Structure 1
Amino acid sequence: MATFHGHFSSVSLGGMQTSLQVILPEHHLSTPNRTLYLLHGLNDNETIWTRRTAVERYADTYGFSIIMPFVDTSYYTDMAYGKNYWTYLSEELPKAVSSYFGLNPDPASTYVAGHSMGGYGSFKLALNHPEHFAAAASFSGALDVSSLLEYTPEDKKDQRRRSLNIIFGENSDLDSFGGDLFTLVNQHQKAKRPLPNLYQFCGTEDYLYNMNTKFRDHLTTHNIPAYYEESKADHTWDYWDYCIETFMRKISEAEKGLD
């Protein structure tokens, strides 16, 4: 197992030094290599998955190289008043990891997953660039950003409203930059466009549970197949540790024809 944590200057982020955590399994040179972009949540950073889960062990077990970028609190968006994290994630980062680590850019072996804000980022990447990914997973994802205020405690709504204005702008049109997942689903269904395999996990005790069932039902209504799993769990790392291992195992089994 090899792990790397480093910094490099990002053109998309205006020359800012940004950080990156990478896991390379020991046997990645001798087996078909899979690349997984693993995204963090709102109050986390690029190190959170290695600190709170056994993802290093899972990477070695199932043969995944894992790329964990830092995107601050951007909701994986080119912020109205901030950095262009969407451009960084979707355009610059794949070229950087290919150059630095020689990872296979083949869409058939490239995946994306994340928790909470990262679940939104995962599906946003997959639905805006379906040609780049074999599968995407959301764990307790904040999948309906247009209704985030509805899921915010009353005493924190003003702070959340200011944060969302910084990210998306006042009275922003999410559809104008591919930010609304529900609209993207509608567009793909209408165009009969092939999509990556979608995996959605959420705990029934999670405060985002209703948001997740709403998105699950939206996929079903538009005849877009997806794997959906719920458990008696909250918005916790114990659950996300289970989710990431389950997702990686299912990908491995599917490629072997066992799923």
Structure 2
Amino acid sequence: MLSFDAKTARLLDDVYAGSDCTRRRQESFDALKPAPGEVILDIGAGNGLLTGELARAVGPSGRVIAVEPSADMRASAQARCAGFDWVEIVDGTADSLPAPAETIDKAVAVQVFEYLQDIPRAVTEVHRVLRKDGRLVIGDIHFDSLVWHTDNPDRMARMQIAWDHHFTTRNVPAQLPAILRATGFCLDAVTPVTVCDYQLRPDGLARMMIILMRDFAIAGGHVPTAEATAWADEQTALAAQGRFFFAVTHFVTSARKT
């Protein structure tokens, strides 16, 4: 699993405000359809970018509860949302939500469910806290959609295998429809959001993944330091040559409690 320390939090702050992550966040926001006065649960709120957007949407007559297990991320979210008295940032996890039954109008989780050990349990927990007809929106990448150019496919494959160790499930979007229906949700839509880069942009998802994948592979001993560093350096070199290409698809799944 990734460790979201202060250094990682700073990197995520930079990239999450960039265009790639903004598109993903906007798609989840639009699917959630936040309205004035609603009580919304932001599961795995991270640095609070979406939390703040939800706070503006529901206004002071509403309430946003941001649930985040990382202390560094909670601190970042707290600073970002300091002007919203109706935002509560709390320690917690998706499978043990700090909310009474049937008290939440809507819930959203962006890039969270891939880290969960028990996705059905988390979906059941959200079902518990949502009111009748409450909406749930889950956004996650399907990692089988990853396309990444390299002149060394074997090394790229080893890096991707190493990266698989940082999450629990690589195909969350494919599993969700059946899990949601089995838990008592009515599936509304599954919307793909594809990030496709032919440049290595400073605020891009690809840049973040290069840094995180390199550091994770080295720290976990999954790939030798020299190999992981060479892999990252190759991507920078390909970009300088105009040969960089990266694409991956994030899926936004929306459902209602029946």
State the TM bucket, normalised to the shorter chain. Answer: 0.3 to 0.5
Higher strand share: 2
TM-score by length of structure 2 reads 0.38
Where relative contact order (Cα < 8 A, 6+ residues apart) is larger, the structure is 2
TM-score by length of structure 1 reads 0.38
